[in-house]
Amino acid sequence: MNSRIILMKGLNKMKIGFLFPGQGSQAVGMGKDLYEAYEEVRNVYQKVNEITGIDIAKVSFEGPEELLNTTEMTQLAILTQSLAIVELLKKHQIIADRMAGLSLGEYTALITDEVIDFKDGIEIVQKRGKIMQENLPEGNWKMAAIIGVDKDAINEICDETNGFVKVANYNTIGQIVISGEESAVREASDKLKTKGARKVIVLNTAGPFHTEKFDLASKKFKEELSKISFDNKDSKVIKNLEGTPYMKDENIVEVLSNHIKSPVKFTDCLTEMYKSGIDTFIEVGPGKALSGFVKRMNFENNIRILNINDVNTFKSAIKELTGKEI
């Protein structure tokens, strides 16, 4: 079972937090067994097909990898699988008290909390992926996760490296992602190894995401965001920009347009969820990176961490959360 149980708690005392993955967690075949096993999942994929005109099930399950890894398809595929799993959890009365998503995953959270209507959400994510893909600056770009060096040292190395490289994601304690020109990312990575980095992981992405290089994409996306309506309310969703909840007076268009070109402060999101009383974190969607982020946070109180990305992990989570076999 892909879970880490630190302490068993009574079901009536649980405070649940959903975590939704972002770009980089995709893989050909993702979600296929869930699609084959559950009508609720098939319904979500069908709705996305009807809204976008894209057979995202075929792209997700069959690829080819080059197609799935395009920004537009990646974002739509991850979003669809995550939302399909949410529908399964709803069927078993498993509802989140707080939610956060890594980059793209914030849209999954906003749709789940009904801040964004399902149809509008699918359409805006499709447009987001397309705008980011079409406005990718020319050049060779890379992102790399740096493990074991503090943020001040990483920012200092980025500033003194030749070429463009910036911090893009503050993922968790001891893990920060840098983004920029491939040569600069590699140079900064080598320098950080001499500063004590335990590991450098080159990510499965090809753009200077969450940096000012996406300023033009941010402006174009803002125009699209302005065309849809939002349910402005005190939301369960924690923002990447600040690590604070969306509030009813939030300028959501401004937040989400800046989101593309600003660093993701996921460490702050996790801290906010923990401070709000979340004791059960459930990663919903492909991969299990976010579960690892929670483990590295070294929260003082005992917590439970689950991830759901296929039939086996779904069944295990339901048993863990409800005590029922399905």
* 222-245: pLDDT as tens digits: 999 999 999 999 999 999 999 999
Query: Which are the contacts of 68, defined by CB distance < 8 A and separation ≥ 6?
Result: 26, 27, 28, 59, 60, 74, 77
Helix axes 118-134, 215-225, angle to 10 degrees: 150
DSSP 154: H
Q: Tell me if 241 sits within 8 A of 265, measured CB to CB.
A: yes
Which residues of the chain are modeled with pLDDT < 50? 1-11
Distance CA 49, CA 54 (A): 5
Domain residue ranges in the chain: 3-135+211-322, 141-202
Q: Tell me if 113 sits within 8 A of 86, measured CB to CB.
A: no
CATH 3.40.50.970 fits 3-135+211-322, yes or no: no
* 62-108: pLDDT as tens digits: 999 999 999 899 999 999 999 999 999 999 999 999 999 999 999 99
Active-site residue (options: 25, 103, 235, 291)? 103
Helix (H) or strand (E) holding 283, with range, is: strand 280-284
Active-site residue (options: 60, 82, 179, 210)? 210
For 58, 83, 171, the CA distances from 46, given in Å and listed in that order, are 11, 12, 33
Helix (H) or strand (E) holding 100, with range, is: strand 98-101
Distance CA 59, CA 74 (A): 9
User: Is 103 tagged catalytic?
Assistant: yes
| Cβ burial 234-268 (10 Å sphere, 16+ → b, else e) | ebbbbbbbebebbeeebebbebbbbbbbbbbbbbb
Q: Determine the pLDDT at residue 245.
A: 98
Secondary structure of residue 117 in the 3-state scheme:
coil
CATH 3.30.70.250 fits 141-202, yes or no: yes
